[in-house]
């Protein structure tokens, strides 16, 4: 049976009963478990699935309120700690043994927190285009980025919030000019990314809505995994982008220099969307890293 025969999808209940959607592709060890960015569903990982389908099991899942996962109640936590626990719920349900944890953007914080929670159950870490601490403090390398974001969060939570979403947020994201704005602001490298990728992201932002986006942004703003970095003793490959305005390059170098034995892949010309801009560079490099670091654990993604 080929790895295609091992594809499955379903739901896993979190500790508080929220139904989390997951997709599992292929077969083989060590398995890979992916954590998304803020406001993103599993679609940004399709290049990874295509690359590793014949040799590894790749598991994708959605945070609460994202994709097909259920939204928790108003009193339900959406902290990084909660997302890491949700990730482990998916891993436990699928019986993943020492998975390699891959995280993009917010997903970097999630996999570092997951390591803090269960260090002996992690096989390796691949932080991609994300930071380890207080992401809103360094957004666009702007001194007052956190202050500006806090003001927007307060506005979104006010009585103007519903009007803001209905009359500004949704129409703005739907405009064709959104592509030009994203390119001009270095959110994406428009010369290297398919417009379909950005369109998927913008449509998903509209689907999850303004309140959920800023609710999660508020809860992750103060997360700090600085203390975890020197404790990490599993193979780690960090992916950094030259023009990543969301994640200062200094944060990626600090992770490399603080985590024992960590390696760094520097993507020239890549923005925060480098995961879909340069898959032809990222995934062959991850494959070589897996072959080097997990040689004794590899099993084929194909069955005889």
Using CB atoms within 10 Å of the CB of residue 221, give its burial: 0 to 12 exposed, 13 to 18 middle, 19+ buried: middle
From residue 255, give the alpha-carbon distance in Å to each of 4, 99, 171, 213: 36, 20, 39, 27
pLDDT attached to residue 9: 95
CA dihedral 250, 251, 253, 259 (to 10 degrees): 160
pLDDT attached to residue 3: 38
* Each residue's pLDDT tens digit, 270-298: 998 999 999 999 999 999 999 999 987 76
Using CB atoms within 10 Å of the CB of residue 117, give its burial: 0 to 12 exposed, 13 to 18 middle, 19+ buried: middle
Q: In the predicted model, is pLDDT for residue 158 greater than 80?
A: no
* 106 is a domain residue: yes
* 117 is a domain residue: yes
pLDDT attached to residue 6: 75
* 60 is a domain residue: yes
pLDDT attached to residue 184: 44
How far is Cα of residue 110 from the mean position of the Cα atoms in its chain? 8
Task: Tell me what the mean pLDDT of segment 61-70 comes to.
Answer: 95
* 302 is a domain residue: no
Q: What is the DSSP string of 269-283?
A: T--TTHHHH-HHHHH
Whether pTM exceeds 0.75: yes
How far is Cα of residue 12 from the mean position of the Cα atoms in its chain? 19
Q: In the predicted model, is pLDDT for residue 203 greater than 90?
A: no
Least confident of 14-23, 60-69, 72-81, 133-142: 133-142
| CATH code, domain with 177 | 3.40.50.1820
Q: What pLDDT band is residue 205 in, cutting at 50, 70 and 90?
A: confident
pLDDT attached to residue 201: 74
* 304 is a domain residue: no
- Residue 207: which domain range? 3-297
The larger pLDDT score, comparing residue 212 to residue 290, is at 290
Q: In the predicted model, is pLDDT for residue 2 greater than 50?
A: no
pLDDT attached to residue 143: 65
Q: Which residue pairs, CB below 8 angstroms and at least 24 apart, start in 146-149?
A: 146/221, 149/217, 149/221
- The first and second tokens of residue 263, run together, are 């390696």
Domain count, the chain: 1
Task: Tell me what the mean pLDDT of segment 183-212 comes to.
Answer: 67
Cβ neighbour number for residue 281 with a 10 Å cutoff: 16
Q: In the predicted model, is pLDDT for residue 304 greater than 50?
A: no
Task: Tell me what the mean pLDDT of segment 263-271 comes to.
Answer: 95
pLDDT attached to residue 163: 54
């Amino acid at each position: 049976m080929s790895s295609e025969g091992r594809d499955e999808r379903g739901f896993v209940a979190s500790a508080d009963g929220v139904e989390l959607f997951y997709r599992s592709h292929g077969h083989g060890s060590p398995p890979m478990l992916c954590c998304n960015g803020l406001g993103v569903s599993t679609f940004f990982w399709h290049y990874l699935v295509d690359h590793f389908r014949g040799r590894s099991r790749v598991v994708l899942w959605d945070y609460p309120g994202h994709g097909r996962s259920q939204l928790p109640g108003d009193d339900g936590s959406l902290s990084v700690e909660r997302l890491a626990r949700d990730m482990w719920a998916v891993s436990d349900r699928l019986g993943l043994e020492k998975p390699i944890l891959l995280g993009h953007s917010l997903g970097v914080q999630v996999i570092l927190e997951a390591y803090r929670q269960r260090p002996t159950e992690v096989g390796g870490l691949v932080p991609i285009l994300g930071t380890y601490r207080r992401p809103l403090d360094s957004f666009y390398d702007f001194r007052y980025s956190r202050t500006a974001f806090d003001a927007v969060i307060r506005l979104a939570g006010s009585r103007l919030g519903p009007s803001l979403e209905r009359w500004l947020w949704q129409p703005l994201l739907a405009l064709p000019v959104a592509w030009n704005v994203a390119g001009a602001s270095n959110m994406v490298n428009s010369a290297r990314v398919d417009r379909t990728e950005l369109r998927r992201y913008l449509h998903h932002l509209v689907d999850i809505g303004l309140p959920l986006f800023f609710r999660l942004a508020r809860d992750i703003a103060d997360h700090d995994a600085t203390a975890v970095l020197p404790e990490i003793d599993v193979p780690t490959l960090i992916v950094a982008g030259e023009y990543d305005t969301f994640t200062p390059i200094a944060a990626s170098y600090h992770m490399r220099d603080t985590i024992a034995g960590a390696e760094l892949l520097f993507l020239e010309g890549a923005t925060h969307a480098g995961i879909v801009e340069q898959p032809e560079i990222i995934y062959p490099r991850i494959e070589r890293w897996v072959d080097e670091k997990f040689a004794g654990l590899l099993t084929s993604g194909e069955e005889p």
